[in-house]
Amino acid sequence: MYSQIKDSPTRGDVLLDVYLFRPKSSVTSTNIVLGIIYHCGILIEVEWVGDFSKPEVEMIVPMYNKTDVFGLQIFHRDKFPVWASNSSSVEEIWNNYKNIVNESLEHFVPHKIIRKILDPEY
């Protein structure tokens, strides 16, 4: 069941904001603070039980500006007969070409690991 945690007016004599929490015991304190013009703000402090942090997220990003262009050109020239040969279907030619491009990205384009900072300093 949800509980209303603040019954004091937040705009003049009127309670405009409704804050529902479950369980009510997780709320440690509430305070009305001065806001803009006639509208007051509500500061709510909550105690969380449990660990809600997410594991560190990593992304691998290709650095195209550092590509070994000469090596890439030689690689594609050498692989040209493989993907341009008369295959049984257009789909097979396309799949051969995609595999060659993926292989060349792995070998000739350096990659950087970017880690997301979970608790940045502001």
pLDDT bin (cut points 50, 70, 90) of residue 93 is confident
For residues 43 and 33, the answer to whether their CB atoms sit within 8 Å is yes
The 3-state DSSP class for residue 19 equals: coil
40/10 same-domain check: yes
67/35 same-domain check: no
Q: Is residue 53 part of a domain?
A: no
Residue 26 domain boundaries: 3-46
Residue with tokens 């942090």: 53
User: pLDDT tens for residues 27-72?
Assistant: 777 777 776 666 677 777 878 777 666 666 788 899 999 999 999 9
Q: What is the pTM of this model?
A: 0.45
- The percent of residues above 90 in pLDDT, for the chain, comes to 21
42/82 same-domain check: no
Q: Is 70 exposed, middle or buried (0-12, 13-18, 19+ CB in 10 A)?
A: exposed
Distance CA 10, CA 97 (A): 64
Which tokens go with 7?
A: 């019954």
37/68 same-domain check: no
Which tokens go with 90?
A: 């257009």
How many folded domains does the chain comprise?
A: 2
Which tokens go with 97?
A: 């070409």
pLDDT higher than 80, residue 84: no
pLDDT for the residue 108: 95
78/30 same-domain check: no
pLDDT for the residue 63: 94
